[in-house]
Amino acid sequence: MRVSFDELKNEIKRVFMKYGLSEEKAETCARIHTESTYDGIYSHGSNRVPRFADYLQKGWVDPKAEPTLEKDMGAIRIYNGNMGPGVLNALFGADRAMELADQYGIGLVGLKNTTHWMRGGTYGKYVAEKGYVAIMWTNTEACMPPWGGKDCRLGNNPFVMACPGPDGGSPVLMDMAMSQYAYGKLQVTRLAGKKLPFPGGYDKDGNLTDDPGAIEDSMRILPIGYWKGSAFAFMLDILGSVLSDGVGAVDMNAAAKGSCGGCSQVMIVIDPKKTTTAEAMSETVKRAVEYIKSAEPSEHSGGVRAPGEGIEKFHKDHDENGIYVDDSVWAEICAL
Amino acid sequence: MRVSFDELKNEIKRVFMKYGLSEEKAETCARIHTESTYDGIYSHGSNRVPRFADYLQKGWVDPKAEPTLEKDMGAIRIYNGNMGPGVLNALFGADRAMELADQYGIGLVGLKNTTHWMRGGTYGKYVAEKGYVAIMWTNTEACMPPWGGKDCRLGNNPFVMACPGPDGGSPVLMDMAMSQYAYGKLQVTRLAGKKLPFPGGYDKDGNLTDDPGAIEDSMRILPIGYWKGSAFAFMLDILGSVLSDGVGAVDMNAAAKGSCGGCSQVMIVIDPKKTTTAEAMSETVKRAVEYIKSAEPSEHSGGVRAPGEGIEKFHKDHDENGIYVDDSVWAEICAL
């Protein structure tokens, strides 16, 4: 299915208003879902609309809640998200973190008791397009075994870094979960009757496997870099809690309010005009990109890409042909 | 070889003084190398002494240089390391970052034009033992191919996160390079006639391999999580440069002043007393550790460990039997 930006946004907005969001809030949330879809991040754009509606219906997300200030100390602010829509809370947090960065050079916003922010890259991109550097993450409910264990006790805790692009171009953007593959990727690969490009977890007998179905059955998805990603996910969980005065995976699992229900987010935003000049930053990024691209392409690759660079391919396609939405997802949204 | 803490420290101190460090500076550097060895990080403790002496002799590290303040804006300070000893510059930077955190809740020190800080975990541990949270990294010369490329264009850019331990115990500490294995690990594994536990890179023909010698030959070591670690390493390179007004891998390679010669380091330090209480932090960390340890151990593991937990095993052994130093390394240090 191909739809225009406004067609998709308005249909999502209609659904969100039906489930209790004010027109203004529904407009913002629908725009973010549509932008993620336009950027090719279907999993956290159009595909997440039914789940968000479901959470609103179950009362896991409070459509009327607003973030409230809990601590205000120097370059740090802690807000309680009050289980409001994660997208709105995170945009609010990113705005406050930029204000702190304006004042102090660096600012940290801790956002506790919030809900799923959808695509983490949204907020990195948001601040980087305004000229700021971002280091952000969220903790999540447990969905991945820690290294050395069989049972899910770690979140996949997406971690975001963003930097303004050279010459005012698109930001350099990394948005990565700590699991090698998302469950969505396992499902898509299994339905296509394919294997994963690299082992993505253990089967029930503890063998590393590239069979997506075997990993879905065992629920033993692999952290990036084995023990390394396991340690990283753990640090993001506890520092998410500590720096927002919020909770981590253990309490999210106990509360059982869906994916990221009650999660803790950290947004560190830096004004690079305080550390360098716009010209030097642009030059640094441009030369680093040229440098990695000067590597000879490996055997089966299309060459080296800078983080965030894949986006243009989707923009071109979506501009020419309309935004892609999976047929069944579109039908589901329209039926809500 | 087994030696006492003071024996090792004094022998290293003697060497460093011989190569131009003042007695006070040699004492500090020798203590840090000895502490890393005591913690079981031999690769960046005793084993790095000959290389540091070599760099002093070559003039790649200036034994007399002191860091100088270049920018002082709110909660950010940029220092020029002036190619002085990386350990001293990094300790200095960590102290300044804690002062900023005292004042603003969060502080960022960018350290440009510095040299190898040896074990990154040293500085995370240093501030976490004083009650602070650390997010730190260094960029390095290129030693790893970017995803999709054959030639080394990315540093392994060690990334550190640390949090005070529960009940005043050892910090929770992660110190990880972006490569799945260090070259030292490849060498040790090859000399032992063994294979790596998981594929660690590509051979010359582009096949993923667990043969350490084949990877040493191709120099195609693998980033953690394939494309993910490649993107992360790139972000750490450019943000290292941007946030310290310093340089990245491309310029370090051009300058050719050894490993990390002229590198850029970022030290973000946060005072968690501004975000939560000591009791809540201790409780959060303790419960998260208990939670991951409650996972059933996987087939071939000794159970789940929290980041930084391995250290006690080394302390016990070193307390009982003296600090382990590789025979040939000890001979080399003594002969310097």
Chain segment A163-176, per-residue pLDDT in tens? 999 998 999 999 99
Q: Are A190 and A127 in a shared domain? A: no
**B261 and B182 Cβ atoms separated by less than 8 Å:** no
Q: Is the pLDDT assigned to residue B89 strictly greater than 90?
A: yes
Residue of A284, A296, A301 to mutate, interface with B, max B Cβ within 10 Å:
A284
Biggest CA–CA distance in chain A, Å, is 55
Instruction: Produce one character per residue of B305-333: b if its CB has 16 or more CB atoms within 10 Å, e if not.
Output: bbbbbebeebeeebeeeebbbeeebbebb
Residue A307 lies in a domain: no
Domains: count for chain B: 2
Tell me the pLDDT band of B310, cut-offs 50, 70 and 90.
Answer: confident
| Domain boundaries, position B267 | 68-179+223-274
pLDDT digits over A203-229, tens only?
A: 999 999 999 999 999 999 999 999 999
Q: Are A159 and A263 in a shared domain? A: yes
Q: Are A189 and A247 in a shared domain? A: no
Average pLDDT of span B159-175? 96
Residue A302: predicted pLDDT: 85
Residue of A238, A266, A286 to mutate, interface with B, max B Cβ within 10 Å:
A238
Chain A residues touching B281 at Cβ < 8 A: 242
Within 13 Å of residue B95, how many CA atoms lie on the same side as its CB?
Answer: 8
Residue A305 lies in a domain: no
Q: Choosing from B33, B44, B116, B318, which is the catalytic residue?
A: B44
User: Catalytic residue at B44?
Assistant: yes
Within 13 Å of residue A288, how many CA atoms lie on the same side as its CB?
Answer: 35
Q: Are B80 and B54 in a shared domain? A: no
Q: Are A234 and A97 in a shared domain? A: yes
Residue B164: predicted pLDDT: 98
State the Cα–Cα distance between residues B148 and A305, nearest whole angstrom: 8
Residue A223, phi then psi, degrees to nearest 5: -70, 150
Q: Are A132 and A10 in a shared domain? A: no
Q: Are A261 and A139 in a shared domain? A: yes
Q: Are A150 and A12 in a shared domain? A: no
Tell me the pLDDT band of B22, cut-offs 50, 70 and 90.
Answer: very high
**A-B C-beta contacts closer than 8 Å:** 287
Could you tell me the two tokens for A203? Answer: 């089967």
Nearest to A105 among B75, B236, B284 (CB): B75
Residue B205 lies in a domain: no
Q: Are B32 and B102 in a shared domain? A: no
Average pLDDT of span A137-150? 98
Among B172, B149, B47, B161, residue whose Cα is nearest residue A304: B149
Q: Are A320 and A235 in a shared domain? A: no
Alpha-carbon gap: B32 to the closest alpha carbon of chain A (Å): 24
Among B239, B95, B78, residue whose Cα is nearest residue B157: B239
Among B236, B220, B139, residue whose Cα is nearest residue B181: B220
Q: Is the pLDDT assigned to residue A300 strictly greater than 90?
A: no
State the Cα–Cα distance between residues B54 and B56, nearest whole angstrom: 5
pLDDT digits over B250-300, tens only?
A: 999 999 999 999 999 999 999 999 999 999 999 999 999 999 999 999 998
Alpha-carbon gap: A295 to the closest alpha carbon of chain B (Å): 5
Q: Is the pLDDT assigned to residue B302 strictly greater than 90?
A: no
State the Cα–Cα distance between residues B114 and B89, nearest whole angstrom: 7
Q: Are B18 and B144 in a shared domain? A: no
Q: Are B149 and B38 in a shared domain? A: no
Residue B213: predicted pLDDT: 97
State the Cα–Cα distance between residues A25 and A29, nearest whole angstrom: 6
Residue B234 lies in a domain: yes
Nearest to B298 among A149, A228, A247 (CB): A149
Starting at the edge strand found earlier in the chain, the sheet holding B76-80 runs B68-73, B76-80, B106-114, B263-270, B133-138, B159-163, B172-176
Residue B21 lies in a domain: yes
Sequence-distant (≥ 6) Cβ neighbours of residue A24 within 8 angstroms: none
Among B214, B323, B24, B107, residue whose Cα is nearest residue A105: B107
Could you tell me how far CA A308 lies from the centroid of its own chain?
A: 13
Q: What percent of chain B has pLDDT over 70?
A: 100
The domain that holds B6 is classified in CATH as 1.10.1530.10
Residue B270 lies in a domain: yes
